[in-house]
């Protein structure tokens, strides 16, 4: 039962005997006094402990034999009650928030322990009340997935949903998204919705909203301020710049990647400063050219998922590449070494791929810098085999762009031309 999820044996008996269920707010007297909320336990846990969430947002386990007394402060039903209806403020700009299931602006379900996205504008206002002073937010749940489960078909769903608001009165659209694959989604939206008349901002949270160090609310506030104060177009990712609570970075959606597993400042613009820095009440513009203001909106919301990203390494077995080629693939993006190289052991397989009409693109494993395949003999050999150098395009962005290009164009010359055309600032000088 959800009231005792994960508890069994002695720990289950302890909760039942004290009339305590998951989600109750309690005070526990042990070696010291603890106050918190009873949380569910993972499966296969022992039966000697209970878990509580402290006010700091962190969970701790307490051994039941050391608990002298447990008191119930508040029941789960009262903790999870919904907030009151909010009133839209006249004169404030409107923003649409589409949730795809990330932890940004989320709430804790104390019955299950899950951190779930807000479902309504009322819940959003309750989670981040500062937003109501900046804009009127309409919230809608589009998906409910961890970002590792977001697939290319979901990119299409998100893009088609955003396209519906081309002629709306929204000042901008925020897409709440998990961080692990957010830069893949931002890349696709950048290509598919080039020239969209209002800004599209992807926002995530490195630390969930039940933790004291959460960046969820601050990132969301920063995205809202960016939309209302800059009135710029394009697709961007808005996240913490560093561990400083007062600085939020706004990255161009095709020039950013996640470079740390857990830091709040995990996202970085590659090869340059973030396009904008939001610091307290100031927005600093670093973007030298407003790349998106002159673009006409011509949506191309199609893709071909038969594209792979091949990371070359010493010892790579060309038989693996042969299997990829024989699987009916349409494109291969190589993540090569240095200036754009792979070992000569791969040459015969690459030649076979070219003969089959597979698009072949080269990026670099280096975090920064540009592919230059004319410098060394090995690079020139690969050029002669038909590999296209993709300048300083980030490998993941090149993968997404190839999916998009191959989904919208068929002629091989046109595919090459579009892959090398700077569509959404994916290439920089």
Are the beta carbons of 108 and 36 closer than 8 angstroms?
no
For residue 339, give the nearest of 297, 375, 295, 388 by alpha carbon.
375
* Rounded to 5°, angle at Cα 314 from 309 and 317: 65
> What residues contact residue 65 under an 8 Å CB cut-off, 6+ apart?
48
For residue 223, give the nearest of 214, 210, 232 by alpha carbon.
232
Q: Which residues are catalytic?
A: 103, 179-180, 258
Residue with tokens 């795809």: 100
Are the beta carbons of 227 and 95 closer than 8 angstroms?
yes
* DSSP one-letter string for 106-175: EEEETTTTEEEE--SHHHHHHH-GGGGGT-EEEEEE-----GGG--HHHHHHHHHHHHTTTTSSEEEEEE
For residue 405, give the nearest of 128, 194, 170, 183 by alpha carbon.
194
Residue with tokens 């960016």: 226
Distances (CA, A) of 414 to 255, 369, 408: 24, 26, 10
Are the beta carbons of 264 and 206 closer than 8 angstroms?
yes
What is the chain's length? 429
Between β-strands 170-176 and 94-99, what pairing exists: parallel, antiparallel or unpaired? parallel
* DSSP one-letter string for 201-221: EEE--SS-TTSTT--HHHHHH
Q: Which DSSP state fits 2?
A: G
Distance, in Å, from the CA atom of 254 to the CA atom of 269, rounded to the nearest integer, reads 9
Name the token pair of 185. Answer: 């989604």
């Amino acid at each position: 039962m959800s009231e005792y999820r994960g508890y069994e044996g002695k720990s289950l008996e302890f909760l039942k005997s004290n009339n305590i269920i998951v989600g109750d707010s309690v005070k526990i007297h042990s070696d010291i006094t603890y106050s918190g909320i009873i949380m569910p336990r993972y499966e296969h846990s022992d039966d000697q402990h209970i878990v509580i969430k402290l006010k700091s947002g962190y969970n701790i386990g307490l051994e039941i034999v050391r608990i002298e007394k447990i008191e119930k402060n508040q029941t789960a039903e009262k903790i999870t009650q919904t907030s009151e209806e909010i009133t839209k403020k006249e004169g404030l700009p409107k923003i649409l928030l589409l949730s795809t299931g990330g932890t940004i602006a989320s709430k804790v379900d104390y019955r299950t322990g899950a951190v779930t996205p807000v479902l309504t504008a009322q819940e959003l206002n309750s989670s981040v009340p500062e937003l109501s002073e900046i804009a009127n937010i309409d919230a809608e749940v589009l998906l409910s997935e961890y970002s590792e489960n977001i697939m290319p078909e979901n990119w299409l769903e998100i893009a088609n949903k955003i396209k519906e608001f081309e002629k709306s009165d929204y000042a901008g659209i925020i897409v709440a998204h998990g961080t692990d694959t957010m830069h893949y989604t931002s890349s696709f939206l950048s290509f598919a919705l080039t020239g969209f008349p209002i800004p599209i901002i992807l926002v995530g949270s490195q630390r969930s909203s039940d933790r004291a160090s959460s960046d969820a609310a601050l990132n969301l506030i920063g995205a809202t301020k960016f939309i209302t104060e800059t009135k710029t177009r394009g697709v961007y990712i808005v996240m913490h710049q560093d561990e400083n609570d007062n600085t939020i970075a706004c990255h161009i959606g095709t020039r950013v990647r996640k470079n740390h597993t857990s830091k709040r400042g995990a996202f970085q613009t590659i090869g340059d400063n973030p396009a904008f820095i939001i610091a307290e009440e100031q927005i600093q513009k670093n973007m030298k050219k407003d790349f998106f203001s002159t673009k006409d909106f011509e949506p191309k919301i199609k893709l071909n998922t038969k594209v792979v990203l091949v990371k070359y390494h010493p010892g790579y077995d060309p038989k693996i590449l042969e299997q990829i080629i024989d699987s009916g693939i349409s494109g291969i993006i190589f993540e090569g070494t240095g200036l754009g190289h792979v070992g000569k052991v791969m040459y015969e397989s690459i030649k076979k791929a070219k003969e089959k009409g597979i698009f072949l693109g080269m990026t670099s494993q280096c975090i920064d810098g540009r592919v230059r395949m004319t410098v060394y003999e090995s690079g020139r050999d690969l050029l002669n085999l038909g590999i296209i150098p993709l300048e300083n395009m980030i490998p993941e962005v090149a993968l997404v762009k190839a999916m998009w290009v191959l989904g919208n164009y068929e002629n091989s010359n046109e595919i090459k031309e579009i892959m090398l055309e700077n569509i959404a600032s994916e290439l920089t000088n």
